[in-house]
Amino acid sequence: MFINTLLPLFAWLALALNGLGWFSHKQWHRTLLGMTGPILLLVSLYPLFQYGWSTYVTYSALGLMVAVSLWDMFSPANKRCDDESCAV
């Protein structure tokens, strides 16, 4: 139940929330790193599940998701744009 239901559900949730975070913070490096873990997890669970090395990809994706979460917790993103303009 955990691998087949909860992991993909939380990966989709993390992917959606990181995408929404882009619209409010406009920090591409945070968005890219935040979306890489869930995408790797979903790819390793579905298309690559038949291969033996997909386990390593799954654990690496989980580790990346934890690392990005800790980074966001200890160094929160600041809003880089206001309603009228965006600083480049």
Does residue 80 fall inside a structural domain? no
Question: 10 Å Cβ neighbour count for 68?
Answer: 20
Residue 86 lies in a domain: no
Q: How many domains does the chain have?
A: 1
Give pLDDT tens digits for 3-47.
677 888 888 888 888 777 777 767 777 777 788 888 888 888 877
- CA–CA distances in Å: residue 50 to residues 13, 44, 55, 68, 85: 24, 9, 10, 27, 48
Which residues, 6 or more positions from 31, have their beta carbon under 8 angstroms from its beta carbon? Answer: 18, 19, 21, 22, 25
Sequence letter at residue 40: L
Residue-range definition of the domain harbouring residue 20: 2-74
- The candidate with the shortest Cα–Cα distance to 33, out of 48, 47, 22, is 22
pLDDT tens figures, 24-35: 767 777 777 788
- Could you tell me the pTM of the whole model? 0.70
64 within domain boundaries: yes
